[in-house]
Amino acid sequence: MANGDNSLIERAKLFREHMATVLNLATGALVLSVTFLHDLAGRLQGVWLLKRSWLCLLATIFCGVAYSYILDIYIKLKGNQYGTLLLVFSFVFHAAFLVAIVYLFRFGLENI
């Protein structure tokens, strides 16, 4: 195995582990917020913030799964053909997660 191939595989493992961590956080935040809404239904303000955060969390989950799939193809082809697509999915993945967390935070502040 050439040194370039080994470096590509090591970087891909690092990216995959990072994406898996954020994906687990997004999934956990979605499940926790649904449970929270179930327990306090009827007494909440700013539910629109929670719904927007759910949409962003779903987008995060979708982009994380798509990124992982595209990364597998990228590694198998050992090329930069999908590099731009990976960057786009990575950007949307991280941006959607951050926006979802901001919406969840704002929702929490309205319901303190």
pLDDT value of position 73: 86
DSSP H or E run through 71? helix 47-77
CA distances from 44 to 8, 9, 108, 109, 111 (A): 48, 47, 10, 11, 6
Domain count, the chain: 1
What pTM does this model have? 0.83
Show the low-confidence residues of the chain (pLDDT under 70).
1-5, 79-80
Q: Give the residue from 55, 22, 49 showing the smallest Cα distance to 37.
A: 49
What are 15-36's pLDDT values in tens digits?
Answer: 889 999 999 999 999 998 888 7
pLDDT value of position 79: 64
pLDDT value of position 3: 64
Q: 83: domain range?
A: 3-110
